[in-house]
Amino acid sequence: MIGLGSRDGFLVKKKHKKSIFCYANEFSTSIFLIKLFTFYKIMKTVTYTLHISASPATVFAKFVNELNEWWPKAYTWSQDQLQEIRIDGQKDGLCTEIGPYGFRCDWGRVTEIIPYKSIGLKWQISPKREPIPDPAKASDIKVSFEQEGDATKVNFEHYNFELHGDEADNYREMMGSEYGWPYILNCLKTYCEK
């Protein structure tokens, strides 16, 4: 009997029904594990969608170029003494906070940018609100801006929390709570619609 063998993904001749069954079993298990892993990754992602009464170009520009105007000062290290918070809107551009006495902290890095459509960032802030200098140990953010009628649909994802170590699950819950990304992104909405 000829069947599929699992060795190196090639077709091989098999003389026993058991070999075919084993391959089918291994294949089914692999598909199940891939689906389980995908579900796990989705469950470990903070997602938030909101609609803003402005064009995608306007919302994108305000998100990237006017961060200082809408980002809540209470969510910065400098708080009321914040001088500036900004995103350098180009690939590998830094996300930076400038505080009193020249204090500077880079809290992120642009990983991808498609003007007026989407931006990807490395989120280099730990669960303890400390900077993470190594972007390979930071989680990721993706924000897209889509036209929907007279408004913009903003799709937000924060993922790869597991890179934050033991506190990843608590951090994900905190950022997904009403005081995390939903609050921050609604500050953007309020700013864009005023």
**pLDDT reported for residue 30:** 56
Q: What is the pTM of this model?
A: 0.78
Inform me whether the pLDDT recorded for 35 exceeds 90. Answer: no
**pLDDT reported for residue 124:** 98
Torsion of CA 68, 72, 76, 81, to 10 degrees: 70
Phi, psi angle pair for 86, to nearest 5°: -150, 160
Superfamily of domain 44-193: START domain (3.30.530.20)
**How many residues are recorded in the chain?**
194
Nearest alpha carbon to residue 103 among 88, 121, 130, 81: 81
- Domain residue spans of the chain: 2-39, 44-193
Average pLDDT over residues 17-22: 47
Average pLDDT over residues 167-187: 97
The DSSP bridge partners found for residue 159 are 140
For residue range 92-133, list pLDDT tens digits in order.
999 999 999 999 999 999 999 999 999 999 999 999 999 999
